[in-house]
Amino acid sequence: MAKTIGIGLIGLGTVGSGVVQLLRNAPSAMRRRKNVGFELRGIAVRDVGRQRSVDFDHSLLTADGMAVVDDPGVEMVVELTGASPAVEWVRAALKKGKDVVTANKAMLADYGEELYELALENGADLMFEASVAGGIPIIRSLRNGLVANRVESLYGILNGTTNYILTQMTRGAGDYADILELAQEKGFAEPDPTMDVSGMDAAQKLSILCRIAFHSGSTGSQIFCEGIEKIERRDIEYAGELGYVIKLLAIAKKRGDRVEARVHPAMVPADSLLANIHDEFNAIEVVGSAVGEQVFYGRGAGQMPTASAVVSDMVYLAERKMAGAGPAIGDMVLGSDAVSIGDIAESEIRYFLRMQVLDRPGVMEQIAHVLAVEGISIASVIQKERDLQGGSVPLVIDTHEAREQGMQRAVRAINDLEVVEDEVHLIRMEEL
C-alpha cells in the first residue's frame, strides 16, 4: 500500500511552483513506480495575497515559515526560499527529526557542517540535489554512483549566467556590459548579478561538491574566487588566436594531503568538451580512479529542471522512510580526517598575460627578465602593430606552468616597469 507523506513547503516562487506542478501532474506515476505519494499540508510564502501561476489549496498558505515546520502533519520540509531565515527553519525541522529537502546552496556552503551533524543527531535526513547544477544529478552521482571511486579531479561550468555572457561574447555579440544587459532582459541574469558574475555562486556550489568528492570541509568563502567582470572582447579574440575559449571554471583537484579548489575565468582548449558548453547550460567533468572520465551535462537552472531535482530528493527520502532505513546523511559529516583546501599561492598553473607596452627596443627583454627571476618560462608571444593613435602596442604572453605566488610577484614587478602603460591583465589557462 502506498504511503502518503505530509509535505511542508517553504517558498512558492519559481522553483516552488514547479514542485507543486510536478506533484500535481505525476502522482500516479510516482505511486506506481515508487509506491509513494505526497500531500501538501502547509505552504509558507512572503506575500499570502499574491496571485500565483499554479493551482493549489489557498487555505494552506501562511506567512509564518516556522508554523509550517511545527505542523504535526508535516513529515518533510521542503525549503526553497534562499531567504536569510532559511537556516533557522531547517535547524528547527531537523531538531524535530523531520527530513528536509533544499535547493539553498548558500546555506549549505556556510552552515552545511552544522546542519549535517544536526540531521544525524536527530535521525533526520537533509537532501540537496537541486543546490548544484539544477536538474543535473551530480550530487547523487558523486555520493552513490561513484562511491567506489577516488575522485582525482573535477572541472565544472556551474553558473549559467556567466556561461551565457561568455558564450555571447565569444560569438561577437558585444562587450561584457552589453551582454550582461541582454542576459538580464532575457531573464538569464538577476537584476543584481553580483553573486553570478563575481564567481561566488560557483564557489558555493564547488564547496558542496568538494565535501562529497574530496571529504573537504571548506565554505564558499574559503575557495579562491575571481569573476568575469574584467574579461574584454580582445581577451576573447586573443584566446581564439591561441586556440582557446574563455569559460568561468570551478576547479578541484587532489594535491597531496590537500585539495586545490578555485573558481576563475580560464582559457580552455577550443576542442575540449567544456569549451563547447554554450549559453545557460552547465557541465561537470569528473575523473574517478575506477571509471575514468565522466561528464554530466544539462540545464543548470530553470524552473522545471530544478523542481525535478527537488522532487527526486523527496521521493528518495520517502522510499527510505517506508523501508525503515536510517539517515543517509552520515557521509556528509566530516571527522578528524577532513581534507583542507590548499592556498592558490602554491598552485602550478599556466597563464595568459595581456599588457599595453611602449613600442621601443628592449621592452620584451625587460619583461622576460622579470619572468625569469621568478622562474617563469614563456611559451609564446603575440605582438600587434602600433596603434595609430599612440606609441604603444598590445603584447600578449602565455607561459608554461608556474607557481601562482611567483606569477603574482612578477605581475606586480611588470606593472612597475616604465615601459608598461596599463596594468597587466592575467587569465589562467587549463589544458583539461
- Could you tell me which of 114, 51, 123 has the C-alpha nearest to residue 87? 114
The answer, yes or no, to whether residue 328 has pLDDT greater than 80, is yes
pLDDT in the model for residue 180? 96
Would you say residue 340 lies in a domain?
no
Q: Are strands 224-225 and 126-127 parallel, antiparallel or unpaired?
A: unpaired
pLDDT, tens digit, 9 for 90 and up, residues 203-234: 999 999 999 999 998 888 899 999 999 999 99
Total number of domains in the chain? 3
User: What's the rounded Cα separation, in Å, for the pair 333 and 318?
Assistant: 22
Do 258 and 368 fall within a single domain? no
- Give how far Cα 419 sits from Cα of 1, 382, 387, 432, Å: 79, 17, 15, 35
Q: What is the mean pLDDT of the chain?
A: 93
Does 321 qualify as catalytic in the annotation?
no
Do 325 and 283 fall within a single domain? no
pLDDT in the model for residue 33? 67
Domain that holds residue 258: 138-300
In 51-108 the beta strands, taken as DSSP E runs, fall at 61-62, 76-79, 99-102
Do 150 and 201 fall within a single domain? yes
User: What's the rounded Cα separation, in Å, for the pair 402 and 347?
Assistant: 8
**Percentages (nearest 5) of helix, strand, coil residues in the chain:** 40, 25, 35
Do 294 and 310 fall within a single domain? no
Would you say residue 279 lies in a domain?
yes
SS3 151: strand
Confidence bin at 330 (pLDDT 50/70/90):
very high
The answer, yes or no, to whether residue 415 has pLDDT greater than 90, is yes
The answer, yes or no, to whether residue 137 has pLDDT greater than 60, is yes
Q: Are strands 99-102 and 151-157 parallel, antiparallel or unpaired?
A: unpaired
pLDDT in the model for residue 386? 64
Do 271 and 241 fall within a single domain? yes
- Give how far Cα 247 sits from Cα of 166, 167, 174, Å: 7, 8, 16
pLDDT, tens digit, 9 for 90 and up, residues 234-280: 999 999 999 999 999 999 999 989 999 999 999 999 999 999 999 99
Would you say residue 267 lies in a domain?
yes
pLDDT in the model for residue 398? 96
Domain at 404, CATH number: 3.30.70.260
Which of 80-84, 87-91, 339-343, 353-357 shows the lowest per-residue confidence on average (mean pLDDT)? 80-84
Domain at 111, CATH number: 3.40.50.720
Average pLDDT over residues 83-107: 96
Do 236 and 274 fall within a single domain? yes
Cβ neighbours of 185 (radius 10 Å): 9
pLDDT, tens digit, 9 for 90 and up, residues 154-194: 999 999 999 999 999 999 999 999 999 999 998 888 999 99
Do 188 and 272 fall within a single domain? yes
Would you say residue 338 lies in a domain?
no
Q: What's the whole-model pTM score?
A: 0.94
Do 224 and 279 fall within a single domain? yes
Do 259 and 314 fall within a single domain? no
Sequence-distant (6+) residues with CB within 8 A of 43 are 8, 9, 10, 12, 16, 56, 60, 61, 62, 68
Confidence bin at 2 (pLDDT 50/70/90):
low
Average pLDDT over residues 50-64: 92
pLDDT in the model for residue 391? 77
Domain at 239, CATH number: 3.30.360.10
Would you say residue 337 lies in a domain?
no
Sequence-distant (6+) residues with CB within 8 A of 121 are none
Catalytic residue among 98, 105, 205, 247: 205
Do 171 and 239 fall within a single domain? yes
DSSP string, 203-253: HHHHHHHHHHHH-B---GGGSEE--STT--HHHHHHHHHTTEEEEEEEEEE
pLDDT in the model for residue 337? 84
- Could you tell me which of 338, 203, 346, 332 has the C-alpha nearest to residue 257? 338
Confidence bin at 387 (pLDDT 50/70/90):
low
Do 151 and 110 fall within a single domain? no
Confidence bin at 31 (pLDDT 50/70/90):
low
pLDDT in the model for residue 60? 96
Do 85 and 19 fall within a single domain? yes
The answer, yes or no, to whether residue 407 has pLDDT greater than 70, is yes
